Amino acid sequence: MSANEENAVVPGHQAAAFELRGVSQEFGNGPSHTLALDNVSLTVDYGESLGIVGESGAGKSTMLRLLLALNTPSRGQILWRGEDLSARKRGSLRDFRRDTQMVFQDPRSSLNPRLTIGRIVAEPLKSLGIPGRHDERVAEVLHAVGLDPDIVSRYPGQFSGGQRQRIAIARALAPHPNILVADEPVSALDVSVKAQLVDLLAELKERLGLTLILVSHDIAIVSNLCESTAVLHDGRIAEWGPTDRVLTNPQDSYTRELLAAVPTLPEV
């Protein structure tokens, strides 16, 4: 880890970044009852990159909210660094929020159009009470994502979609997280910009030693960024293992169907 990351929350033991133990999530009662996740167990080690894939309604969004401690599971446990997240009081979640940051799907809705870029990127530093020169950290992370730090006085509407997503990534990096959770981070971008953002995420993961959890329907992006892949189907894990193995030699029939549905370019 670089000197610039010396203030990060560093794990003090060998516990996994996340561990899900028999996690289920239910919503509603009677006819409206939904079992969004059903007895899911999964481990994400520090420094690992995990892709979570599946069709709409598979349970990806529900798992994401649980991993971010936005919801509490109906059954089972979610451990962060060996600690039960649901047992932590709201006021004691600051370390977790600093260690785990989120990049949302659409930067148009995740960036406040009324705030300058400088205030947007500095927001987690302020809300988490992180000491130091916030302006210096803002400049540092903007540079890290390939943007000129001089943009701090400008507004999100003055930038392209790809630039706005770089700003969103800079904001997520500002508090020195160890874990970056990304929800379809390039799905709203055109093909050439997608490739640039995928390259950026790969470079940041390698340079900063980030743990990356990527939720995506785009199997090609998962194959480029993630060492392991979990395939969700009807709230259960259909398959989980090294990405190369899952994508080239799937063991589950649903995974094979999912891969078969991926369009391929015609030979020329």
For 6-20, write each residue's pLDDT tens digit.
334 444 446 899 999
CB-side neighbour CA atoms (13 Å) of 170:
32
- Angle made by CA atoms 219, 225, 102, in degrees to the nearest 5: 95
Predicted pLDDT at 265: 41
Question: What does the alpha-carbon distance between residue 56 and residue 261 come to, in Å, rounded to a whole number?
Answer: 14
Question: What does the alpha-carbon distance between residue 202 and residue 199 come to, in Å, rounded to a whole number?
Answer: 5
- Residues with pLDDT less than 70, the chain: 1-14, 89-91, 263-268
Predicted pLDDT at 88: 73
Predicted pLDDT at 6: 39
Question: What does the alpha-carbon distance between residue 225 and residue 247 come to, in Å, rounded to a whole number?
Answer: 13
Query: Where do the domains of the chain lie, and which CATH numbers do they carry?
Result: 15-88+180-185+212-261 (3.40.50.300)
Predicted pLDDT at 29: 84
Number of other residues whose CB lies within 10 A of the CB of residue 77:
16
The CA-atom distances, in angstroms, between 187 and each of 43, 113, 144 are 26, 21, 22
Angle between helices 161-173 and 191-208 in degrees, nearest 10: 20
Contacts of 123 (CB under 8 A, 6+ apart): 115, 171
Task: Look up the pTM and report it.
Answer: 0.89
Predicted pLDDT at 187: 83
Question: What does the alpha-carbon distance between residue 263 and residue 191 come to, in Å, rounded to a whole number?
Answer: 15
Predicted pLDDT at 263: 64
Predicted pLDDT at 89: 66
